[in-house]
Chains A and B, each alone.
Chain A
Amino acid sequence: MTITDQPTTTSTSVIGQRLLRKEDPALLTGEARFTDDLQLPGALHLIVARSPYAHARITRIDTTAAAAAPGVVAVYTGADLTDLWAAPMPCAWPVTDDMKSPAHYPIAVDKANYVGDAVACILATTNAEGRDAVELIDVEYEPLEAVVGLEDALSDRIIIHEDLGTNASYTWPLVVEEQEGAVDRAFADAAFTVKERYVQQRLIPMAMEPRAVAAVPQPFGGDITLYTATQVPHILKVMTAITLGIPEHQLRVIAPAVGGGFGSKLNVYAEELLCTALSRKHHVPVRWTEERSENSMATVHGRGQIQDIELAADAEGKLIGLRVKLLADMGAYLQLVTPGVPLLGAFLYAGVYHLPKAFSFSCTSVFTNLTPTDAYRGAGRPEATYAIERAMNRLAAAVGVDPREIRRRNYIPTEAYPYEAYTGLTYDSGDHIKAADIAADLADYDGIRAKQKDQNVEGSTKRIGIGMCSYFEMCGLAPSRVLASLNYSAGGWEAATVRVLPTSKIQVVTGTTPHGQGHETSWSMIAAEKLGVAVEDVDVLHSDTAISPLGLDTYGSRSLPVGGVAVAMACDKVIDKAKLIAAHQLEASAEDLEFSGGSFTVAGSPDKTLPLAAIAFEAFTAHDLPDGMEPNLEAHVTYDPPNFSWPFGTHMCVVEVDTETGSVDVLKYVAVDDCGVQINPLIVEGQVHGGVIQGLAQALFEGAVYDADGNLQTATLADYLVPAASDVPSITLGHSVTPSPTNQLGVKGVGEAGTIGAAPTVINAIVDALSGLGVTDVKMPASPINVWTAIAEATASSGGDVGGAASAPDTSTSATSGEDDQ
């Protein structure tokens, strides 16, 4: 079922169509060129030697044997290359003025700080020879005790970066109180309180294409082209120029076809800097391709937080206060936006609920001897949503109402939009009850509740549960001034150029960098809609800083609400200019011209008409343009959004838990997402499908596991369980359409919504199924052993199957956490 309000955009012929993606034939036939596909005669292969220790002093490196091996051109240690770096590797988000950040260079010099940290590198004529030779580099280590746990890190028992004097990188507080003491008062006055601790396990992004880099110097003049599997060629160009101290205008960055990123390619990596610097040094192309297990260790991880959340609610269960304390895992170093990720969530801890100004948040971030963390699909927002949505179920239990009801009581009412939240951010739109009702219908919420009464009885080993989550996505990163207030080092604008070629074909140049999202299709549809041309007549150019010099790339569900809107605005500018030419040609006043279906017509004289194609050719010949007008028909726009965009929705999930084995069967998954106007519903659905599976994977399958010495136990796809199609349910989609009022397309963004909603939905369902056994929490991932252990612990402490409570949902358990304050 789909409920569609009339979008507010102009009469749509192209927008809203389910067009197949333009980019897919090349991808599906293998014709698309990824970085590793590039043919680069004479290229040297970079191989990186990596530390097998999580924490070790490098006492000696003997490169003689490796240097003498067949095919080896050079072997370098960290010390050999210090001259190449003008600055350490960049962190663009110093969240506090006193944030501690260790100097981080592409190759470690005297200490390795995680398994996978680069300790030396080889240039070889073939990859195979290089891989053989790298084993001959003899590194002598003095192993040190590794810091693996977050609380252990915080204790400073062992300090990883001695010069910093502590493992704590920063503490970032955000307290919003109507009057001082408002939070404490809320908790003192509360009829119900909930206090929970949740653990966000580390995740490995596992893009289908691991990273790959190729740096190609031009024969003369010092220019370099850097091909890399990145989400951020524009940002990378700036950062590479700064880090290597090379003139930015001599650097061109190209992201060829890129096989997924999920945030892991939103970074500046050692290998990108090494290839660029070494290709300049050796005057030949230098390339590197990551192996899968290397990707598990040397590409950033996501999540990694311990969350303490406390809710205070009045007698009806309405939120009156919220406390959040995070302990976040930075890993061994700060990568590009590492410290900012947990803070992005700070704004979403009250979810879609009305919270008075009684909010206290604090995040302390610590270094560990593990792979650095950074943005991963949702970046801070799935974590926040998980905490509030799990805690809301505990509140429902404490109050004694159904999880749907507790949410209904707390949702920000539709009439309140635009709604200024406790944080000062304005949420543009929302209709949470509607989204929840659509989801409940699709999931047969009441039917499942009735079925539970029959099925979840004493002795039953197959218990069903239903879980839900309502969320905001917070997309469209970001108004530049908001980023400034968060100490982020860049803006959040996006650029677009729209060019009508002499033969009236359209070129759209965008600063976004698609790597699976389908921008070529969606941007073509926007231009086609605006300019009245066929989608096939539009070409979208991107991901090459020489062709698209201005841009801030793709992450944070920003591309459509920022970059796509910029394309629409540039089309408007093209139309404005074309109108002046048309007025000149038709000897009419511009005000009297109407533009539709790709032609200008003089109002009231339907025969006086001029198609855009004719105007484009006029603009090209420039034989007869209005006085003073520049030739050619193109326009450029840089758009800085006035606000984030606020997609919202509700997910529901029905599970059956085998209580004997702990295995979880997802019987039904419903996702109702309101991302505003949908340019191409097919692409929206694809994004939601992928996002839900990724969130469900966090809930059920994935987790980077380390042993006590900091060795990654899940470096291969046999151990890191990315689910396959056969392991996940089919997803029932519903949607509502509440156009964003902040942009002309009414669009909001959808890339991360699925991920944000899925993990709490699934875990809430599992806990619901097991509530009759006294289970109130299950550790993620809810693997069979974790579920089985949760059941065993709950039954041990409650003395067996609680007969009476067995048939009721989550609401029947008493929230021990709330009792002392009642």
Chain B
Amino acid sequence: MIPAKFDYVRAGSAEEAIRLIGEHGDEAKFLAGGHSLLPLMKLRLAQPSVLIDIGRIRDLSYIEDKGDYVAIGALTRHHDVEHSDVLAEHAPLLAHATKHVGDPQVRHRGTIGGSLAHADPASDLPATTLALGATYVAAGPNGTREIAAGDFYESFMTSALAPDELLTEIRVPKMNGAKWNFQKFNRRALDWAIVGVAAWRNGDSAGIGLVNMAGTPVLATAAADAIASGASPADAAEHAADESDPQADLNASVEYRVHLAKVLTRRALEAAV
């Protein structure tokens, strides 16, 4: 429970954060809410030699209506996402899913950017933003670029971000009145999902993101296509795990996970009316 030795520097702006990570190189890591990174450090599973604290970059904490989409600063705390009026109106699925992240303490510290950058397939927000077709904005020494959520998650806890890139903004398309539902199946209220489903449908379009069904968050395209083209929730849900490649762990076998994905997808689609 005592991390290995590390140095600590605090960045006052995105530019400074990027400059600092350039100076300190590979062994440095950004520290946002610390609620994923610090537990790993305490278990000595991560041993960065320098922490660059971006947690106080106020400029990166915002939720703004941008017309077609809502822009969320990467350092926005889960609590603020959960309680945002803009999101309640335009992307209620994200606000609602965020309510299910950990407990109030976690939601007051953890950030949306940290959650996405950490790229843990068991986390709620990667799959949710994926289902919503979000775009992420990354800033690096050579400027900024946009990365579609669908291109962001490369493998288990590995994202398309370069080591010296900072995630600065999440752009969530407005849901325009789509019906939605979020299912999180876990054993204790504060736990990560054994399986989770974020689903929305609007006329002939739909999106379904699965939590903890592979090394990356999964877009359940076959099920979404089926429901969009008129299949019943039960029939569409039969295809829920088509794109999945789940692992077994203490809480679930592969077979059980696939079963849960189908049951929860059906329930989500039934409820999203």
Q: Using CB atoms and an 8 Å cutoff, list the residues of chain A in contact with chain B.
A: 127-128, 131-132, 135, 291-293, 660-661, 663, 701, 705, 713-714, 716, 718-719, 721, 723-724, 726-727, 783-785, 788-789
**Contact partners of A784 in chain B: CB under 8 A:** 185, 187, 194, 251
Q: A716-B43, A721-B188, A726-B190 are in contact. List 12 more A-B contacts (CB 8 A).
A: A127-B2, A132-B4, A135-B44, A701-B188, A713-B250, A719-B250, A721-B191, A726-B189, A727-B188, A784-B185, A784-B194, A785-B252
Q: Contact at B250–A714, with CB atoms within 8 Å?
A: yes
Q: Using CB atoms and an 8 Å cutoff, list the residues of chain B in contact with chain A.
A: 1-2, 4-5, 43-44, 185, 187-191, 194, 250-253, 256, 259-260, 263-264
| A132-B188 CB under 8 A given contacts A713-B250, A785-B253 | no
Q: How far, in angstroms, from A663 to B250 measured CA to CA in the complex? A: 15
Q: How far, in angstroms, from A724 to B103 measured CA to CA in the complex? A: 11
**Contact partners of B4 in chain A: CB under 8 A:** 132
**Contact partners of B253 in chain A: CB under 8 A:** 785
In the complex, what residue of chain A is closest to B259 when comparing beta carbons? A788
Q: Contact at B256–A788, with CB atoms within 8 Å?
A: yes
> Shortest Cβ distance from A709 into chain B, in angstroms?
16
Q: Contact at A132–B5, with CB atoms within 8 Å?
A: yes
Q: Which of B1, B5, B189, B263 contacts A291 (CB 8 A)?
A: B1
Q: How far, in angstroms, from A293 to B187 measured CA to CA in the complex? A: 21
In the complex, what residue of chain B is closest to A292 when comparing beta carbons? B1
- Per CB-CB distance, the 9 closest pairs between chain A and chain B, nearest first, are A726-B189, A291-B1, A131-B2, A727-B188, A660-B263, A785-B256, A128-B2, A785-B252, A721-B187
Q: Contact at B189–A724, with CB atoms within 8 Å?
A: yes
> Shortest Cβ distance from B66 into chain A, in angstroms?
36
Q: Which of A135, A661, A724, A727 contacts B260 (CB 8 A)?
A: A661
Q: Which of B43, B185, B250, B264 contacts A705 (CB 8 A)?
A: B250
Q: 21 A-B pairs, CB-CB below 8 angstroms? A: A131-B2, A132-B4, A660-B263, A661-B185, A661-B260, A661-B264, A701-B188, A714-B250, A716-B43, A718-B191, A719-B250, A721-B187, A721-B191, A726-B188, A726-B189, A726-B190, A783-B251, A784-B187, A785-B251, A785-B256, A788-B259
Q: How far, in angstroms, from A132 to B4 measured CA to CA in the complex? A: 7
Q: How far, in angstroms, from A168 to B190 measured CA to CA in the complex? A: 42
Q: Contact at A727–B2, with CB atoms within 8 Å?
A: no
**Contact partners of A661 in chain B: CB under 8 A:** 185, 260, 263-264
**Contact partners of A292 in chain B: CB under 8 A:** 1
> Shortest Cβ distance from A796 into chain B, in angstroms?
13
Q: How far, in angstroms, from A661 to B256 measured CA to CA in the complex? A: 9
In the complex, what residue of chain B is closest to A135 when comparing beta carbons? B44
> Shortest Cβ distance from B241 into chain A, in angstroms?
15
**Contact partners of A785 in chain B: CB under 8 A:** 251-253, 256
Q: How far, in angstroms, from A718 to B187 measured CA to CA in the complex? A: 11
**Contact partners of A135 in chain B: CB under 8 A:** 44
**Contact partners of A713 in chain B: CB under 8 A:** 250
> Shortest Cβ distance from B201 into chain A, in angstroms?
22
In the complex, what residue of chain A is closest to B252 when comparing beta carbons? A785
Q: How far, in angstroms, from A131 to B1 measured CA to CA in the complex? A: 9
Q: Which of B187, B189, B190, B194 contacts A701 (CB 8 A)?
A: B187
Q: How far, in angstroms, from A315 to B263 measured CA to CA in the complex? A: 46
**Contact partners of A789 in chain B: CB under 8 A:** 256
Q: How far, in angstroms, from A788 to B263 measured CA to CA in the complex? A: 13
**Contact partners of A726 in chain B: CB under 8 A:** 188-190
In the complex, what residue of chain B is closest to A727 when comparing beta carbons? B188
Q: How far, in angstroms, from A636 to B251 measured CA to CA in the complex? A: 55
In the complex, what residue of chain B is closest to A662 when comparing beta carbons? B256
**Contact partners of B263 in chain A: CB under 8 A:** 660-661
In the complex, what residue of chain A is closest to B248 when comparing beta carbons? A785
Q: How far, in angstroms, from A293 to B260 measured CA to CA in the complex? A: 30
**Contact partners of A132 in chain B: CB under 8 A:** 4-5
**Contact partners of B250 in chain A: CB under 8 A:** 705, 713-714, 719
Q: Which of B185, B189, B256 contacts A727 (CB 8 A)?
A: B189
Q: How far, in angstroms, from A709 to B244 measured CA to CA in the complex? A: 30
Q: How far, in angstroms, from A723 to B190 measured CA to CA in the complex? A: 10
> Shortest Cβ distance from B33 into chain A, in angstroms?
17
Q: How far, in angstroms, from A149 to B260 measured CA to CA in the complex? A: 30
Q: How far, in angstroms, from A150 to B185 measured CA to CA in the complex? A: 33
Q: How far, in angstroms, from A406 to B260 measured CA to CA in the complex? A: 38
In the complex, what residue of chain A is closest to B194 when comparing beta carbons? A784
Q: How far, in angstroms, from A172 to B189 measured CA to CA in the complex? A: 43
> Shortest Cβ distance from A779 into chain B, in angstroms?
14
> Shortest Cβ distance from A728 into chain B, in angstroms?
10
> Shortest Cβ distance from A704 into chain B, in angstroms?
11
Q: Which of A291, A705, A724 contacts B188 (CB 8 A)?
A: A724
Q: How far, in angstroms, from A714 to B251 measured CA to CA in the complex? A: 11
Q: How far, in angstroms, from A701 to B191 measured CA to CA in the complex? A: 12
Q: How far, in angstroms, from A127 to B2 measured CA to CA in the complex? A: 9
Q: How far, in angstroms, from A660 to B43 measured CA to CA in the complex? A: 36
> Shortest Cβ distance from B46 into chain A, in angstroms?
15
In the complex, what residue of chain A is closest to B187 when comparing beta carbons? A721
> Shortest Cβ distance from A660 into chain B, in angstroms?
5
> Shortest Cβ distance from A468 into chain B, in angstroms?
25
**Contact partners of A716 in chain B: CB under 8 A:** 43
> Shortest Cβ distance from B48 into chain A, in angstroms?
15
Which interface residue of B1, B44, B194 has the most chain A CB atoms within 10 A?
Answer: B1
**Contact partners of B188 in chain A: CB under 8 A:** 701, 721, 723-724, 726-727
In the complex, what residue of chain B is closest to A713 when comparing beta carbons? B250
Q: Contact at B185–A724, with CB atoms within 8 Å?
A: no
In the complex, what residue of chain B is closest to A131 when comparing beta carbons? B2
> Shortest Cβ distance from A260 into chain B, in angstroms?
18
Q: How far, in angstroms, from A57 to B135 measured CA to CA in the complex? A: 55
Q: How far, in angstroms, from A719 to B122 measured CA to CA in the complex? A: 14
Q: How far, in angstroms, from A470 to B43 measured CA to CA in the complex? A: 44
In the complex, what residue of chain B is closest to A660 when comparing beta carbons? B263
> Shortest Cβ distance from B185 into chain A, in angstroms?
6
Q: Which of B187, B190, B264 contacts A783 (CB 8 A)?
A: B187
| A724-B190 CB under 8 A given contacts A128-B2, A661-B260 | yes
Q: Contact at A663–B256, with CB atoms within 8 Å?
A: no
Q: How far, in angstroms, from A372 to B127 measured CA to CA in the complex? A: 42
Q: How far, in angstroms, from A128 to B41 measured CA to CA in the complex? A: 14
> Shortest Cβ distance from B215 into chain A, in angstroms?
19
> Shortest Cβ distance from A403 into chain B, in angstroms?
27
Q: Which of A127, A663, A719 contacts B185 (CB 8 A)?
A: A663
Q: How far, in angstroms, from A788 to B253 measured CA to CA in the complex? A: 11
Q: How far, in angstroms, from A788 to B195 measured CA to CA in the complex? A: 15
> Shortest Cβ distance from A573 into chain B, in angstroms?
49
Q: How far, in angstroms, from A481 to B235 measured CA to CA in the complex? A: 70
**Contact partners of A719 in chain B: CB under 8 A:** 250
In the complex, what residue of chain A is closest to B188 when comparing beta carbons? A727
> Shortest Cβ distance from B49 into chain A, in angstroms?
13
> Shortest Cβ distance from A206 into chain B, in angstroms?
14
> Shortest Cβ distance from B190 into chain A, in angstroms?
6
> Shortest Cβ distance from A782 into chain B, in angstroms?
11
**Contact partners of A660 in chain B: CB under 8 A:** 263
**Contact partners of B185 in chain A: CB under 8 A:** 661, 663, 784
Which interface residue of A128, A716, A784 has the most chain B CB atoms within 10 A?
Answer: A784
**Contact partners of B43 in chain A: CB under 8 A:** 293, 716
**Contact partners of A721 in chain B: CB under 8 A:** 187-188, 191
Q: How far, in angstroms, from A661 to B251 measured CA to CA in the complex? A: 12
Q: How far, in angstroms, from A718 to B36 measured CA to CA in the complex? A: 12
> Shortest Cβ distance from B100 into chain A, in angstroms?
12
